[in-house]
């Protein structure tokens, strides 16, 4: 069952935080290109700094908190997964490879048969 089925309406402050995060991220990319004469270290510092600040601003907004909650729920679900044993994983992989080989062979034979029927028998091009 979902933890929260209620949709919240974004407030003006949350919209402003999301917009500020977008502007900061865009500003980081612009700064990266404008600071090219300053050297790579300054370029990358400005880009990464702006992206980190943009992420922090976004994560304190309501959509950011919802995203964090989604990540936590997703990680909790991943922990519940029962992964196959090595032997079972190898067997399933072998089945997939065998199926792909058989289908490839079938499609190749079908293609060659249709090519023979159309070009040799019907059209007589060869």
pLDDT tens, 13-29?
889 999 999 999 999 99
In this structure, the answer to whether residues 76 and 88 fall within a common structural domain is: no
Q: What pTM was computed for the model?
A: 0.57
What is the rounded distance in angstroms from the CA atom of residue 95 to the CA atom of residue 85? Answer: 15
Distances, alpha carbon 52 to alpha carbons 29, 38, 43, 56, 95, in Å: 12, 21, 14, 6, 45
Tokens of 120: 């040799």
Question: Number of structural domains, the chain?
Answer: 2
pLDDT at 116 over 60: yes
Residue 4, in any domain of the structure: no
Range of the domain at 45: 9-81
For residue 9, pLDDT over 80 is answered with: no
Would you say residue 49 lies in a domain? yes
Same domain, 13 and 37: yes
């Amino acid at each position: 069952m979902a933890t929260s089925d209620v949709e919240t309406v974004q407030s003006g402050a949350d919209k402003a935080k999301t917009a500020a995060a977008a502007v900061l991220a865009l500003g980081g990319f612009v700064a990266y290109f404008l600071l090219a004469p300053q050297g790579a270290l300054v370029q990358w510092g400005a880009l990464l700094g702006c992206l980190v600040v943009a992420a922090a601003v976004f994560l304190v907004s309501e959509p950011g908190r919802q995203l964090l909650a989604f990540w936590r729920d997703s990680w909790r679900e991943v922990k519940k997964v029962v992964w196959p044993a090595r032997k079972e994983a190898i067997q399933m992989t072998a089945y997939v490879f065998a199926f792909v080989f058989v289908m490839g062979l079938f499609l190749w034979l079908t293609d060659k048969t249709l090519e023979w029927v159309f070009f040799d028998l019907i059209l007589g091009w060869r």
